[in-house]
Structure formats: structure tokens, C-alpha cells
Structure 1
Amino acid sequence: MNGKALIDQAKLLDILDIEATVLAETVDGAREELRIPHCPGLTVGETARHIGSVYRMALQWMRTGDSPQTWQREPGPFQSLRDYVVSGARALVDELARHDPAAPCSTWWAADSTYGFWRRRMAHETTIHRTDIQAALDRPVTEIEDEVATDGVDEVLTLWFSHRLTVQGVAGTRDGTVVIRTGGKAWIARVTPGGIGAWRLPAADIDRADAGRINAAITGPPPTVYRWLWGRLPDDAVQKEGNPEAINQMWALMRVATR
């Protein structure tokens, strides 16, 4: 499976830096108890703590070469949520900038054991949670560029839906194949009782062998499909065609993959 990002690695680092800044400024002074839409039980405060913690976890992982056991998971004494996010992001961006994105680095995905994995993963982690906090505060959700969202669609399907569910031993209850089309590209998400897989096609066209097995299709603008796959938009935000059971099964499994 190809783990390479669809956009330039320098841009991914810029996205991480910019999105972290926007997230931190948005959370500054916000009511921490406000609920994140479409994420039951998740609040603004928990989201900010999570993202600040994840930055520190990723930094430790890169520096030690293994999944860390301890890191700063909460703001320190007299440290605001804004400063907790900013300081974590700054240290992470500085570390990533010191390494060639193609250089080897320990990760949790064999398809991409490079520093580029962390640039991509942290950029999308931050982008999604930035939209969460803006939505919770009932502010306009800053637009996500099409090429960024398209790369995010690829990441959530190949890394989370395909890889993570496979590692967890999750499978479907019935055969179902869904094609996802957006940004001039296409992906196949296949679910069977024996396992789950998703992959990007070389182009937006479906070859004859795959076409005969497709049960349903999802289409929409890249930012919409991206946020929908992450469960951040209503079920009817995207255009659906074909067998609803195949889509519903994929949707339910996406929620398991991304929780």
C-alpha cells in the first residue's frame, strides 16, 4: 500500500504550523465545556488537551524511536490551553523541520516509516480538530484547500480505515464495496467478513474488474468528503448512489476506525 502523501511535504509542515496557530487562537478564552458537534461526549477543552498531548507524544516517538509511555498530557501549572497547544506545536514543527521528510523514522504504519508520516499525520490531526473547535464555538469553519482535503481523504481511508481496522482485527458482516470520488481521484473501500481494505486508484477511472464489484458510490467536494469521512458532517452532506447497506456498513466501520 502506498503511504506517500498527495501533496508536497513542505506544504504539510506549513499546514501543521498554520492550523495549530489557528486552533490555539480559537480556543483562547473559549468555554471549555462546549460540545464538539457530531462527536458525542467531546468538548472544546478535551479537544485542545488532546491535540497538545498528541504533539508531545509524536515528538517523543520521533526522538526515542518507539511508542512513548510517558509525556506531558495536560497543561502545566499556570499554563493556558492556548500556550499548551502553541508550545507543543512549536517543538514538533521545529523537530520535523530539522529532518528530511524522506529520512527513516519510527512510525505506526509500515507503509511510511519516515518523518514525512508525522508531517502528514499531525497536519491532518490538527486540521480536523481546528474545524471541531470552530464548529463548537459556532464560528465560520475556515475553508480547507481542495488539495489538502483530498490528501486527507487518502489518509483517512488508507491509514485509518484500512490499516487501523486490519490491525485491530475488525471485519464486516457482509461483502460491500464502495467507491469514493473527489478532487479528480478515486478510492475503493472494500469490506468483507474476512477483512477490510481501502486503496487509491491510479486515476479517477474504475477498471472493469473493480467496476463489477462496486455496490455504491460516494461523491462530493474534497473538504466535504474529508470531514464526512471523519464523521464531522451530517450523513446527507455527500452524494450517495447505489446500495445503502454497503454505505452504512462502511460508515459504521469508519466510526470505529476514527474514534
Structure 2
Amino acid sequence: MSGTPLIDHDRLLDVLEHEGTRLASAAAGADHDRPVPGCPGLTLGETARHVGSVYRTVVAWIRSGDRPTSWQRQPDDGQSVEDYVRDGLRSLLGELATHDPAEGCATWHPQQQHYGFWRRRMAHESTVHRIDVQAAGGQDITEVDPEVAVDGVDEVLHLWFTHRLAVLGVAGTRSGTVAVRTADRVWLATLGPRSTSARRVTAAEAESADAVVTADPTELYLWLWGRRAVFDRAVTLDGDLDVSAQLWALLRLATR
């Protein structure tokens, strides 16, 4: 399965800017102690601070050429969390916008050592956590563009299910395959005691899967990120339910 995005890199940079800005706005004036639905133990304020910290981590990573050991992890004295997010976002956008997506730079994926990796990764980091902040604050959830959500499904299956679980040394307890379907796209996730992987396939290639997970792009995106319950009504599970539930549970481990 390729790590090539399903939308262009300029669009991803726009998504990063818009979603980071929305996240900061959602945090402004909200009760930062409110819990984030779907993420036990995480609060609205902690989520916003996390994103502001990640923006700075990425800039430090790019500039140092290696995993950073120090960066500004908390707002300055007197600085609001929303301004901490905005300042970090501004710095990250400036760094990414001045480099071609294909230009090489340090990342945490050995096969994707380029600026395009960070454009995609930070666009979806911002989108998922913007939804977390809005949900925690009891606000209206801004719709995710379907094309962005489909790309997010592709990213979570490639980056987290295929790559991250391997790095963690985590695999399934039983073997099986799951066809993951939304819009006009299909992926085949393979899981078992030895490894996990997912790839883009045709509908015909997915016909023999043990289970099928289907939803509209945004609901599937959020389900794979664990922001929906495993048996949420917005997601249709067919075939072997134990295999589908294992896919969901493994992704919870990968993305937490």
C-alpha cells in the first residue's frame, strides 16, 4: 500500500491551516477541564496543548534532522492555550510552505523522509483533534470534507495499522481479513499473530474478506481513529464481527 496521499499536497497544507485554526478557536473560552468523548482521561485543554506541542516538535524535528529532545511543551506564562496553538501552527506552516513536498527531511517513517509526510500527518492530526476539542466543548462539529476523510482513512490504515503496529511489535490474536469500504475506495486489512497490514484494492479483490466495514467517509475516519464505538450505528459491520472488532482494537493501540 502506497503512502502517496489521495489528495494533493497543496490541499493538505490548506487543511492543516484551516483545521489548526478551527481547533484554536474551539478552545478559546471553552472549559478546558471537559473530557474528550472517546478518549478516556483526556481533556479539552490537554488536547489543545498536545497539538500545540506537536506543531513545535515537528518544526524542531525538521530543523535538527533528528527526533528532538527539547521544544516548548507548554504555553508561556500568561499565554493562552489557543494562542499557543496558533503560534505553533504559524511556525509549522511557514516551515512546510517554503519546501517542496518531495524535498527530503527527517520524519518518523523510514520510507517517507520528505516534507510531504509532515503535510499529510499534521493535516490529519489537526482534523481529528479539532473534532475532539469541539466535541468536548459541546460545540457543533464542523464537517470534514469527504475527500479529506477518505485520505484520512488511507493514512490511518497505512501509517498506523501497517507501520506503527509493526514498530510497537503488536499484532492480532487471530488471523483474518477485513474489507474497509467508503465512497468509491476499498482497502484490505490483513491481521494475525505475526503482523498487520493494509493496502488499497479493487472491489473484486476484497470479495473474499472475512469481514466488511462500511460507512460514509467521515464516520469511517472517526471509527478507525477510535472516536466512534466499535459497534456504532453509523458504521455497518458484515461478516466476522470478531475480526472487525480486532481491527478497531488494534488501531486504538496504534493511535493512542
Structure 1 residue 138 displacement after superposition: 1.2
The 5-angstrom pairing of residues 190-229 of structure 1 reads: 190-201=190-201, 203=202, 205-207=203-205, 211-212=207-208, 214-229=209-224
Alignment of 1:5-44 (within 5 A): 5-44=5-44
Asked if the contact 1:4/1:112 (under 8 Å) is kept, the reply is no
Distance in 1, Cα, partners of 2:104 & 2:4: 13
The amino acid of 2:223's aligned partner reads W
SS of the equivalent of 1:122 reads helix
| Post-superposition offset of 1:206 | 3.0
SS of 2:154's partner is helix
Aligned partners of 1:185 and 1:230: how far apart in 2? 18
- When the two structures are aligned, how many residues end up with a matched partner? 254
Moved over 3 A (4+): none
The CA distance in 1 between the partners of 2:226 and 2:67, in whole Å, is 27
Unaligned runs of 5+ in 2: none
Q: 1:109 Cα deviation (Å)?
A: 1.2
Following TM superposition, by how much is the alpha carbon of 1:111 offset from its aligned partner in structure 2, in angstroms?
2.9
Which residue of the partner structure matches residue 90 of structure 2? 90
Distance between the aligned counterparts of 2:182 and 2:80, measured in 1? 39
Partners of 2:199 and 2:4 in 1: CA distance: 12
CA distance in 2, matches of 1:154, 1:206: 18
Deviation at 1:101, TM superposition (A): 0.6
Matched with 2:246 is 249
Inter-partner Cα distance in structure 1 for 2:200 and 2:137: 35
Residue deviations 1:203-242 (CA, integer Å, cap 9, x gap): 4x232xx543x11000111011001110112332301100
Identical aligned residues as a percent: 52
Equivalent position SS for 2:110: coil
Q: Are the aligned partners of 1:156 and 1:230 in contact in 2 as well (CA < 8 Å)?
A: yes
Q: Which residue of 2 aligns with 1:231?
A: 226
Q: Within 2, Cα distance between the matches of 1:2 and 1:111?
A: 10
Query: Structure 1 unaligned runs (5+)?
Result: none
1:118-157 matches, within 5 Å, as 118-157=118-157
CA distance in 2, matches of 1:171, 1:22: 35
Q: Report the CA distance between 1:199 and its aligned residue.
A: 1.3
Instruction: Tell me if structure 1 keeps the 8 A contact 2:55–2:88.
Output: yes
CA distance in 1 between partners of 2:103 and 2:200 (Å): 24
Partner of 1:172: 172
Distance in 1 between residues matched to 2:204 and 2:190, nearest whole Å: 14
Task: Note the alpha carbon deviations across 1:14-44, whole angstroms, 9 max, x for none.
Answer: 1101111111011012111000001100000
- Partner residue of 2:77? 77
Q: 2:80, 2:36 → 1: CA distance?
A: 20
Using the size of structure 1 for normalisation, the TM-score is: 0.96
Letter in 2 for 1:243: D
Conserved? CA contact 1:147–1:183, under 8 Å = no
8 Å contact from structure 2 (residues 176, 191) kept in 1: yes
- Structure 1 residue 68, shift from structure 2 partner: 0.4
User: Match of 1:223, as an amino acid?
Assistant: T
For residues 139-190 of structure 1, what are the alpha-carbon distances to aligned partners after superposition, in whole Å with 9 as ceiling and x for unaligned?
1100000100000000001101110001111111110110100121111111
2: CA distance between counterparts of 1:64 and 1:206? 46
Aligned residue number for residue 114 of structure 1? 114
User: Retained in 1: the 8 A contact 2:223–2:248?
Assistant: no
* CA displacement at 1:197 relative to structure 2: 0.8
1:211 and 1:228 mapped to 2: Cα distance?
A: 22
User: SS in structure 2 opposite 1:6?
Assistant: coil
Cα distance in 2 for partners of 1:116, 1:183 equals: 24
